[in-house]
Amino acid sequence: MASRRSRRAIRLGIPGLIVGLLAFVALWRVGTPTTSSPGAAPVQKPARLPPVSSPPDILLPASIGRQAFLERVAIDTVPSARTLWIGAGGTRVFVVLDPDVKLSHEARVVEGGRVTLIGLVRRAPAADTAMRQWALDAGTAQTVEQGGTYLHVTEVRP
């Protein structure tokens, strides 16, 4: 009986071992970089752009997807619990606080306050989506959509 079991284990185990070994070799080969030709220049990763550091730059479509670091910006208005407008005059930027935002105990997120914001510039959603996600009124949601971008903040400092 033991002889039968060992033969069956060998009959099933050896092909399984071979398949596992071939899979390991295939994955190892896929992970190694290949060179196109001996004289070709190495492929370089695109340079990482510096963070956006001014409210007017956040309004540019080219800023979508970039990190932002805004120091001591003035809070203009607070339309809802997670949203605010920063800047003054014609350069107002819409800001959304992440649900898990790192909020310093010294930072005062109130109208007229000054804070440092760290986050990511994103494309503005449709007005109905903004109303639903951030509890905005229709006028504010429409203004955000027309602006094209907003700042999604993950950290607020004084």
Q: What's the pTM?
A: 0.69
Mean pLDDT of the chain: 87
CA distance 66 to 37: 34
Per-residue confidence (pLDDT) for residue 49, from 0 to 100: 83
With 70 as the cut, is the pLDDT of residue 42 above it? no
For residue 3, what are the CA distances in angstroms to 12, 13, 158?
14, 15, 76
Task: List all residues 6 or more positions away from 117 whose beta carbon is below 8 Å from its beta carbon.
Answer: 68, 69, 70, 73, 86, 95, 151, 153, 155, 156, 157
Q: Which amino acid is at 100?
A: D
Strand ranges in the chain using DSSP code E only, listed in sequence order: 67-80, 83-86, 93-103, 114-123, 149-157
Q: What confidence tens digit (pLDDT) does each residue in 69-81 have?
A: 999 999 999 998 8
Q: What confidence tens digit (pLDDT) does each residue in 59-71 have?
A: 999 999 999 999 9
With 80 as the cut, is the pLDDT of residue 34 above it? no
| Span 33-51, average pLDDT | 66
Percent of the chain with pLDDT over 90: 60
Q: Which amino acid is at 51?
A: P
Per-residue confidence (pLDDT) for residue 35, from 0 to 100: 57
CATH superfamily of 55-157: Nucleic acid-binding proteins (2.40.50.140)
In the chain, domain spans: 1-34, 55-157
Confidence of residue 16 (pLDDT cuts 50, 70, 90): confident
Sign of torsion, CA 83 136 147 121?
A: positive
